[in-house]
């Protein structure tokens, strides 16, 4: 009896699977064609691939401003400038691109320095508190292989939090 059930089940499943195989096959071909059409469309360039100044001014500064507001640091004035470092003992003859955040209410300032006109190049960070001149420069995002807008904003917030400017521990 077991032998009779097995062939009937295989015949039934064979006819069902045979019918099922025939139906998806025609629909699979247009899906493959549609995928090929989608693959031909060019992706817009990534934000990070835009020219340096455009990326900083149109994407990084607005994103950082929003993140600072969300973190409770309202009133931080952000600027993008090409100027010498304002760190004690720094050479005044060399100018670097810098994102400067000033928080006048607390008399604080932080700076992200770009040594090249490229977000993937070496970057530094320094800050000043109480109206004093900064005395220490730290590496910024040195271990990251892929630099993205979200990571740049995140690392900036992490540095500010390290100074206890966002929350007290």
pLDDT number for residue 57 = 93
Whose tokens are 């900064």? That residue is 134
- Find where tokens 């209410």 sit: 105
- The answer to pTM > 0.75 is no
23-71 pLDDT tens trace: 555 555 555 555 555 566 777 777 777 888 999 999 999 999 999 988 8
- Alpha helices (H) along the chain: 2-22, 24-40, 52-55, 61-70, 149-162
Element (H, E) at 153: helix 149-162
Q: How far apart are CA 55 and CA 34, in angstroms?
A: 34
Q: How far is CA 78 from the centre of its chain?
A: 19
97 is written with which tokens? 């691109």
Express each pLDDT in 108-148 by its tens digit. Answer: 889 999 999 988 889 999 998 877 778 788 888 887 788 88
Location of structure tokens 């003992």: 89
Q: Are 60 and 149 in contact (CB under 8 A)?
A: yes
């Amino acid at each position: 009896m077991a032998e009779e059930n097995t062939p009937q089940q295989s015949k039934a499943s064979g006819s069902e699977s045979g019918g099922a195989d025939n139906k998806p096959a025609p629909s699979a071909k247009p899906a493959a064609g549609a995928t090929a059409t989608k693959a031909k469309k060019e992706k817009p360039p990534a934000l990070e691939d835009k020219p340096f100044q455009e990326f900083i001014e149109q994407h990084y500064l607005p994103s950082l401003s929003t993140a600072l507001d969300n973190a409770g640091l309202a009133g931080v004035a952000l600027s993008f400038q090409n100027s010498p470092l304002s760190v004690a003992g720094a050479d005044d003859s060399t100018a670097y691109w810098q994102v400067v955040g000033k928080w006048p209410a607390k008399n604080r300032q932080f700076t992200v320095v770009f040594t090249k006109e490229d977000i993937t190049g070496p970057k530094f960070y320094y800050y000043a508190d109480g109206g004093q001149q900064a005395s220490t420069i730290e590496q910024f995002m040195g271990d990251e292989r892929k630099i993205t807008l979200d990571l740049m904003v995140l690392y900036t917030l992490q540095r500010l939090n390290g100074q206890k400017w966002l929350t007290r521990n």
